[in-house]
């Protein structure tokens, strides 16, 4: 399984597999320049909820990751959880990432002192590490290789759909139709913007990240990923678990209510169904059908409804 975080807290400033100043950073910076702009929100996606798309959200979602959520910093000291992890047998609303993300102030991070104790480089390294892990996850979820240069046109479309979905960009798949990975990589930022005026900048920056990540780390690009995921189709329950393992990326759509018991809640049924549809190349996928598939698991003893049945809440029969 995914070799978990290699102890982020142990990481020395420069020990990352990547030189700190690769394209990866420029990619991130481009995203900064790109989305954070004041005016760029013409498309207004259906949920007018929190317009936290853009870099601040991007970074914050990673800062979110550096917080106790995944236990990464758990050993660091008693700084963190003052009020988290209550009894919480009930579906407590543990706030999912966003809420005030657009505030953009870093003291949103619980235990704000943490940032001062770590050099900027360390934080960057951690972000870079997490980006790599995210790419790995996305590969698994999408069933594509990490190297964009290898993508078929349909892989490109998958990546586009997925990225648009994650960063709430307007759909632009048509403008990139018939493009293979090679051609996609050759497009300049201007050409991205031409094809997608609103999302092009982010897409281009994100592709940069993928490009630099895959060239700098062949190890899992070829060997591990191939053996672990490229072959057989993923099962729905595996897919759901993958999403649940990445709360900073997918917590808006699906999250644990009680991870120990394997109880989870689908927060946005339409979006989860859409992600599943992307993965399976089933554009007509919806929650009605996805939930039918989940119900097939009842008989098999893989997923069930929890004892106190609630809408959109399910439970893995065998957690962990």
User: Which residues make up the interface to DNA (CB under 7 A)?
Assistant: 233, 235-237, 269, 276, 280, 282, 284-285, 287-293, 295-296, 298, 300, 305, 309-313
Q: Do 159 and 142 touch, CB atoms closer than 8 A? A: yes
Quote the least distance from Cβ 21 to DNA, whole Å. Answer: 42
- Give whichever of 12 and 284 is closer to DNA, judged by the CB atom: 284
Nearest residue (CB) to DNA, 137 versus 286? 286
Compare residues 41 and 280 and give the one whose CB is closer to DNA: 280
| Cβ burial, residue 178 (10 Å; 0-12/13-18/19+) | exposed
Q: How far is the CB of 238 from DNA (least distance, A)?
A: 8
* Cβ proximity to DNA, 20 vs 277, nearer residue: 277
- Minimal distance, residue 227 CB to DNA, in Å: 17
Nearest distance in Å: CB 190, DNA:
37
What is the nearest approach in angstroms of DNA to the Cβ of residue 262? 16
Query: In what side-by-side order are the strands of the sheet with 313-316?
Result: 254-258, 263-266, 313-316, 303-304
For DNA, the closer of residues 22 and 271 by Cβ is 271
What is the C-alpha to C-alpha distance for residues 212 and 279, in angstroms, rounded to an integer?
24
Query: What is the spatial distance between Cα 191 and Cα 184, in angstroms, rounded to a whole number?
Result: 10
Cβ(78)–Cβ(47) below 8 Å: no
* Of residues 38 and 301, the one with the C-beta less far from DNA: 301
User: Minimal distance in Å, beta carbon 296 to DNA?
Assistant: 6
Q: Which is nearer to DNA, 173 or 277 (CB)?
A: 277
Tell the burial category of 243 from Cβ atoms under 10 Å away from its Cβ (0-12, 13-18, 19+). Answer: buried
Minimum distance, C-beta of residue 50 to DNA, in the bound complex (Å)? 20
Q: How far is the CB of 299 from DNA (least distance, A)?
A: 8
DSSP 28-62: HHHHHHHH-SSS---S--S--S----SHHHHHHHH
3-state secondary structure of 102: helix
Nearer to DNA, 219 or 296 (CB): 296
Which residues does 22 contact at the CB level (< 8 Å), separation at least 6? 212, 216
Two tokens, residue 128: 């870079």
The Cα 271–Cα 283 span in angstroms is 12
> What is the Cα–Cα distance from 101 to 219, expressed in whole angstroms?
35
């Amino acid at each position: 399984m995914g070799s978990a975080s290699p102890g982020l807290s142990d990481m020395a400033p420069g020990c990352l597999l990547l030189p700190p100043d690769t394209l990866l950073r420029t990619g991130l910076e481009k995203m900064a320049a790109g989305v954070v702009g004041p005016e760029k929100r013409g498309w207004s996606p259906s949920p007018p909820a929190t317009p936290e798309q853009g870099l601040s959200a991007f970074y914050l979602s990673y800062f979110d990751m550096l917080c106790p959520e995944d236990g990464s910093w758990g050993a660091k000291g008693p700084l963190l959880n003052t009020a988290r992890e209550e009894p919480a047998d009930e579906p407590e609303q543990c706030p999912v990432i966003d809420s005030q993300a657009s505030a953009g102030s870093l003291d949103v991070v619980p235990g704000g002192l943490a940032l001062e104790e770590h050099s900027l480089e360390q934080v960057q390294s951690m972000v870079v590490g997490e980006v790599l892990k995210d790419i790995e996850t996305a590969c698994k979820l999408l069933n594509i290789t990490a190297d964009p240069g290898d993508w078929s046109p349909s892989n490109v479309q998958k990546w586009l759909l997925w990225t648009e979905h994650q960063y709430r960009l307007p759909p632009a798949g048509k403008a990139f139709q018939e493009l293979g990975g090679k051609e996609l990589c050759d497009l300049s930022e201007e050409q991205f913007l031409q094809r997608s005026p609103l999302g092009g900048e982010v897409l281009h920056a994100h592709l940069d990240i993928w490009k630099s990540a895959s060239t700098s780390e062949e190890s899992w690009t070829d060997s591990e990923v191939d053996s672990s995921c490229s072959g057989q189709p993923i099962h729905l329950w595996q897919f759901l678990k993958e999403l649940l393992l990445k709360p900073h990326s997918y917590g808006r759509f699906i999250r644990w209510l009680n991870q120990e018991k394997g109880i989870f809640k689908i927060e946005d049924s339409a979006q989860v169904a859409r992600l599943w549809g992307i993965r399976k190349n089933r554009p007509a996928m919806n929650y009605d059908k996805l939930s039918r598939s989940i119900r097939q698991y009842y008989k098999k003893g893989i997923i069930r409804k929890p004892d106190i049945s609630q809408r959109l809440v399910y439970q893995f029969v065998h957690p962990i």
